[in-house]
Amino acid sequence: MVVFPNAKINLGLNVRYKRDDGFHELETIMLPVPMVDILEILPADKTELFESGITLKGTPMEQNLIYKAWSLLKTQYDIPAIKIYLHKKIPSGAGLGGGSADAAFAIRALNEMFELNLSPLEMKKNAATLGSDCAFFIDNEPALATGRGEKLEPVQVALKGKYLLLVVPGVHVSTAEAYGNIKPHESERSVRHVVTQPANTWQNDLINDFEASIFPVYPELKNIKENLYAHGAFYAAMSGSGSAIYGLFNDEPEPFFYPNTRLIKIIKL
């Protein structure tokens, strides 16, 4: 079975407080983006992982979220070993959810391949144990995410036909670094309400809290965001805990050169 796990971006991200379990209470809107990995899963006598494209070379198979998804379901159901072929096109460590998407799409594929008859809710519960963003990719629709990111409510976001200019710089911001420097606080404006406002108000009201602590450490990220506005974006922000920066445009933008980037891509939403 071949599936195409897609990326996501965050529209606003409020880090409200640190919970007793060590996680942070979040509020964000996650939006699917049509930039995809390619994942093929086949029944096999021995579980193996073959990777190509943008890969983290030297990473043990047991640390891959697709393997973890298979291992999780294997503890619950009598499913065979699998061969995993993954062609990575979504950069890692960019706040785009590529690894989480791979895991969620693997759960969906395994559910169908081996006729496990898991409901979407059951798949989301399994996915949430693998990572905070994973459950989002089961339904793979725009959603308000709260809790640590696993509590999801459908939302309407009026961006169809708009253009996304995505810049993935050569900077890698680890999740541990991002959360280690964040200062949680209660936002005056809920992202749920801000996205219902005219898009020309988002620049001031739709905030990613991670930018305040990450931009001073990596000023090139702030520069990319400012360049996106200078090139006509009606909204620009960092996705998740970074390091990808995106701009939203009414009309197809001209790509601009920025040094030391891993990816610059224009996507129609």
Q: Which residues are catalytic?
A: 8, 133
What residues contact residue 16 under an 8 Å CB cut-off, 6+ apart?
24, 25, 26, 27, 184, 185, 186, 187
Angle subtended by helix axes 65-74 and 120-128, to nearest 10: 120
Q: What is the C-alpha R_g of the chain?
A: 18
Closest CA to 80 of 42, 29, 43: 43
CA dist 267 and 160 (Å) reads 11
Q: How many CB atoms lie within 10 A of CB 234?
A: 17
CA dist 176 and 262 (Å) reads 21
- Structure tokens given for 236: 């620009």
- Structure tokens given for 39: 């994942």
